[in-house]
Structure formats: structure tokens, C-alpha cells
Structure 1
Amino acid sequence: MIIYKQFTFDAAHYLPNVPDYHKCKKVHGHTYHLTLFFEGGIAPDLGWIIDYSEIKEIVNPILKMVDHQFLNEVEGLENPTCELICLWLWKKLKPLITQLKRIELKETPTSGAIYEE
């Protein structure tokens, strides 16, 4: 069984390694849409894989590290591409939630990154 939980956060950044003429060289922002997927067996006594409230308690402090922040100044995100933000989130969350199997991060409605175990 796979379940998911969605979150959003807003942040600004620029991409330091792109050419000067690239539009992402300038500071800009996104409303990021994060979907976390969890896999496991359904606990017979509770009827779920993991409690959604437990997920929020674990994820929200990590999202506070990036929400309404300038991502280039967040430790480990000096080159904050969507792919590297996705990987950064994975590295923060996976040790805390063993059932986590996949992350999808959208920086626009049509662009994003997926990381899975």
C-alpha cells in the first residue's frame, strides 16, 4: 500500500551556475508543491501505514527551514535547483520516516523533480 501527503512552501532563489543571460540567474521565487509517498503494510490495530498527523509533525520543522527563505543561504542549498532541493529534502526526511519511498517536488505546475529510493 502507498499513501501520500502534500505540502507547499514558498521560497526565493537564483541559480548561480547558469550563464548570465539565463532568466534563472536573477533572484525569483516559487510556490513549491511537495508530495511525499509512504509505503508499508497496514497496521492491523490502527488500519494505517503511518498517521498523517505524525507525518506533519516530522515534516513541518524541516519545511520551516526553507519556507519564505532565500534558498541560496540555506546550508546545503547553495545551488538550489529543483533536483537538489528534492534531494536535500530526501536526506533530511528519510532518516526520520522509514516508510518514505518517494518525493515529488514541483516548482511550477509543469516542472518538477522526483526522487525515490
Structure 2
Amino acid sequence: MDLSTVPLPSGKHTIGKLFDFEAGHQLPSLAPDHKCSRQHGHSYVVEVILTAPVLADPGFVTDFGDLVPFKKFLDTEFDHRNLHEVMPCEPTSERLAHFLAGWFIQNVEPGIAGRLIAVRVRETGRSWARFDIGDR
């Protein structure tokens, strides 16, 4: 079979990379009897999702190694911290995903080929929040 005859459809390539950190938080705006109003912790998993209409050599949306600054940021600023002491807002997973998207766009994206399209934050194996980047 001649594989060179396979037609390549138009579209975008998308990649994702997972990062993790351990942190505690509380959501004091909730009612005192709500379990999340008390201090508790999570093993957070953060996924960045990037796309590119054209691949950079040798055929990457972005080299996964170019995402190391994001991991370093998470390790330095968030790992084993109280998120309500670090975040500029109440640290829900939704707001954490939004904040991390902003940091990534400002600090990582200018030096890479791909563009961030979403950040997903997983608190548990069953719960996650995702922030999708708007048109820009």
C-alpha cells in the first residue's frame, strides 16, 4: 500500500500536557457548614491545551519541553501552599484555571509556537473545571 496517497484533511492540531501540585485552600464565602468553607487540600492536576494551524519543525504544535517554565511556576508559587493566601481571588478551581491561563499567555506563550486554547484544573479524580480562551 502506498501511504503517500493518503489525503490529509485540513484542520488544527491540538496537544495537552498535564502538571500536578499539592495545595490547600478554603472558600470562606460559603456557609460555615459547607465542607469547602473549612481548610482542606487537593492533589491538583492542571492540563494546558494548545493548538496550531501549522506545525513548527519538526512537526510540533509546541515542543513539550518548552512548557517547563509553567511547571516551575506551579512548583514555586502553588505547590504545598495555601491557595487562599496566594491567589488574588477566592481559589475555586474555575478561578484557578482562569488565572493560570492568564499567566501562561503572558509568560509562556510568547516564546512558543502554539497558542493556549484552554486550561483544565482537576481537584479530584471526578471533579474538574475548565477555562476556554476567548477569541483573540
Scaled by the length of structure 2, the TM-score of the pair is 0.79
Which residue of structure 1 aligns with residue 95 of structure 2?
84
Whole-Å separation in 1 of the counterparts to 2:132 and 2:120: 9
Please tell me the residue identity of whatever aligns with 2:41: G
Which residue of structure 1 aligns with residue 63 of structure 2?
51
CA contact (8 A) 1:62 1:92 kept: no
Please tell me the residue identity of whatever aligns with 1:92: W
CA contact (8 A) 1:9 1:31 kept: yes
- Give the root-mean-square deviation of aligned CA atoms: 1.2
1:75 Cα offset (Å): 4.1
1:93 Cα offset (Å): 0.6
CA contact (8 A) 1:32 1:108 kept: yes
Larger Rg belongs to:
2
Q: 1:61 aligns with which of 72, 93, 98?
A: 72
Please tell me the residue identity of whatever aligns with 2:18: Q
**What SS does structure 1 have at the residue aligned with 2:123?**
strand
Aligned residues: 114
1:111 Cα offset (Å): 0.9
Flag the structure with higher strand content.
1
CA deviation map 1:65-104 (0-9, x unaligned):
1111011110414x11111111111111112315111111
Which residue of structure 1 aligns with residue 47 of structure 2?
35
Whole-Å separation in 1 of the counterparts to 2:124 and 2:70: 21
Whole-Å separation in 1 of the counterparts to 2:20 and 2:91: 17
Please tell me the residue identity of whatever aligns with 1:52: F
The structure 1 segments of at least 4 consecutive aligned residues displaced by more than 3 Å after TM superposition are none
Whole-Å separation in 2 of the counterparts to 1:61 and 1:91: 16
1:61 Cα offset (Å): 2.7
Scaled by the length of structure 1, the TM-score of the pair is 0.91
Residue 110 of structure 1 pairs with residue 110 of structure 2: no
